[in-house]
Amino acid sequence: MSEKLWEKGYKINEEIEKFTVGDDYLVDMKIIEYDIKASIVHSRMLQKVGLLTEEEQVRIEKALEELLGLVKEGKFQIKPEEEDCHTAIENFLVEKLGETGKKIHTARSRNDQVLTALRLMYKEEMKKIEQLIKDLQKSVDEFTRKFGEVRFAGFTHTRKAMPTDFATWAGALKDALEDDLKLLETTYKIVDQSPLGTGAGYGVPIDVDREYTARELGFSRVQWNPIYTQNSRGKFEYLILHTLSQISYDLNRFASDIIFFSLPDIGFLKLPKDICTGSSIMPQKINPDPLELVRAYHHSIVSRMVMAVTLPSNLIFGYHRDYQLLKKPMIEAFDIVKNILRIMKIIFDRIEVDKEKSEDSITEEVLATHRVYELVKQGIPFRDAYRMVAEKYGRERD
């Protein structure tokens, strides 16, 4: 029979139970592996400080390794009545080990337990995103190698403005991603603090070795203040989502550029058919749907970021159940950003430049500013040169 970690001998109203659990038991399957790994380290620490015998620790670790294997093989599911992965793990241990299994929750709370699992996940996900950004940058470099010298008319106000080239255009994305990597690195360093041992925000009334668990779990340092540890939940999520939104923002802008440049009437870029879709009514249509979705997904990241910054903002210190609602948006946001980075890499690997259409776009008026500076080089003041060229193009339009 499954028991709740807060079991006190009374039965909770069924509707209340369903409401408070929500889909947490499903969401927690995404973090259960991290919770198991943290539980293994926690058991080692308990043995180190004398709260578990060596035999008890070995039995607990062996059972946790067995559970980890079941999870990886898809043979373990959290039950709705267990509420979360923390309860499911302890219930598994109690079922396997009896009284020994009940000792795993010594010196921790579900509050610092979930923070630890989430931060381990966040760190791993940020490293994956870092690599995907670098992979995209390599594809951008290859695009530049092929097409960088091709010139075309740049736009302001969605009107032709001045000449540029594809090396400058693609380089803008690479530079933007370089800044995103710096933001990601800074965010990673802030998140890389171990919360394990802070309990529900007020520490635990027994000596534990927090530096040991931090080191064994791969954290760079301990987050010492237990109140701030709880307060940082929401704050750290907001920081991560802000960083992810910067990445999605850059991809959004360049997706829009590619859609615009590949318009048949513009034609600077050519999209292969195998990265486009079609219309169910218009047989001639080849649509840039993947790019439109990349563009749209930015807004879904921003909406999650707004949730992360507003949800905790009026809470007093200490844990609140409100935080439960942040887990799913975080998992979804990481998945979205990983996917759009992969899609943009495929697109940069496949798109081509139409050299003729690009260079033909540099018509005489696109060179107007260059004409101004030719006069400036002759000693004519900029404002006079500007008016002379403006009058010339005004007469031609008339």
* Burial (Cβ within 10 Å: 0-12, 13-18, ≥19) of residue 273: exposed
Largest CA distance in the chain: 94
DSSP tally for the chain: helices H, then strands E: 14, 8
In a domain? residue 9: no
Domain edge (last residue) among 106, 124, 147: 106
Antiparallel, parallel or unpaired: β 193-194 and 221-222: parallel
Does one domain contain both 231 and 275?
yes
Structure tokens at 198: 């802070």
| Total domains present in the chain | 3
Does one domain contain both 237 and 347?
yes
In a domain? residue 27: yes
In this predicted model, what pLDDT tens digit does every residue of 97-154 receive, in sequence order? 999 999 999 999 999 999 999 999 999 999 999 999 999 999 999 999 999 999 999 9
Does one domain contain both 166 and 101?
no
- Distance between CA atoms of residues 198 and 278, nearest Å: 55
Specify the pLDDT at position 218.
98
**How far is residue 76 from each of residues 28, 328, 359, 390, measured CA to CA in Å?**
12, 20, 60, 73
**Which run of H or E residues covers position 339?**
helix 327-350
Whether residue 272 has pLDDT greater than 60: yes
Does one domain contain both 116 and 101?
no
Does one domain contain both 167 and 202?
yes
Q: What is the mean pLDDT of the chain?
A: 93
**The residue to which tokens 């513009």 are assigned:** 266
Helix (H, G, I), strand (E, B) or coil at 137: helix
Specify the pLDDT at position 23.
81
The region of weakest confidence among 22-31, 293-302, 374-383 is 22-31
Antiparallel, parallel or unpaired: β 151-156 and 277-278: unpaired
- Distance between CA atoms of residues 255 and 277, nearest Å: 16
Q: What is the mean pLDDT of residues 379-394?
A: 91
User: Of all residues in the chain, what percent carry a pLDDT higher than 90?
Assistant: 83
Reported as a pLDDT band with limits 50, 70 and 90, residue 1 is very low
Does one domain contain both 81 and 54?
yes
Helix (H, G, I), strand (E, B) or coil at 228: helix
Domain edge (last residue) among 81, 106, 131: 106
- Distance between CA atoms of residues 129 and 244, nearest Å: 9
Does one domain contain both 265 and 156?
yes
Q: Of how many residues is the chain composed? A: 398
Does one domain contain both 81 and 140?
no
Q: Which residues pair with 46 in a beta bridge?
A: none
Specify the pLDDT at position 276.
83
Q: What is the mean pLDDT of residues 43-63?
A: 98
Specify the pLDDT at position 246.
98
Does one domain contain both 23 and 133?
no
Q: What is the mean pLDDT of residues 348-366?
A: 96
Structure tokens at 133: 């950004």
In this predicted model, what pLDDT tens digit does every residue of 211-237 receive, in sequence order? 999 999 999 999 999 999 999 999 999
CATH of residue 155's domain is 1.20.200.10
Domain edge (last residue) among 48, 75, 106: 106
In a domain? residue 297: yes
Whether residue 4 has pLDDT greater than 90: no
Does one domain contain both 308 and 181?
yes
Does one domain contain both 305 and 377?
no
Reported as a pLDDT band with limits 50, 70 and 90, residue 277 is confident
In a domain? residue 148: yes
Whether residue 81 has pLDDT greater than 80: yes
Is the model more confident about 2 or about 149? 149
- Distance between CA atoms of residues 231 and 109, nearest Å: 15
- Distance between CA atoms of residues 269 and 288, nearest Å: 12
Whether residue 283 has pLDDT greater than 90: no
In this predicted model, what pLDDT tens digit does every residue of 161-173 receive, in sequence order? 999 999 999 999 9
Are 195 and 116 contacting, i.e. CB atoms less than 8 angstroms apart? yes
In a domain? residue 6: no
In a domain? residue 375: yes
Our CA angle for 174, 176, 179, nearest 5°, is 110
Specify the pLDDT at position 285.
80
CATH of residue 97's domain is 1.10.275.10
**Residue-range definition of the domain harbouring residue 38:** 14-106
- Distance between CA atoms of residues 303 and 339, nearest Å: 18
CA dihedral 141, 146, 148, 154 (to 10 degrees): -110
Whether residue 394 has pLDDT greater than 90: no
Does one domain contain both 339 and 312?
yes
Q: Mind giving me the DSSP string for 229-280? A: HHHHHHHHHHHHHHHHHHHHHHHHHHHHHHHHHTSTTT-SEE--GGG-EE-S
- Distance between CA atoms of residues 210 and 3, nearest Å: 28
Reported as a pLDDT band with limits 50, 70 and 90, residue 398 is very low
Specify the pLDDT at position 15.
78
In a domain? residue 5: no
pTM of the complete model? 0.92
Structure tokens at 332: 């979804």
Whether residue 259 has pLDDT greater than 50: yes
Helix (H, G, I), strand (E, B) or coil at 83: coil
Reported as a pLDDT band with limits 50, 70 and 90, residue 396 is low
Specify the pLDDT at position 7.
59
- Distance between CA atoms of residues 316 and 298, nearest Å: 31
In a domain? residue 196: yes
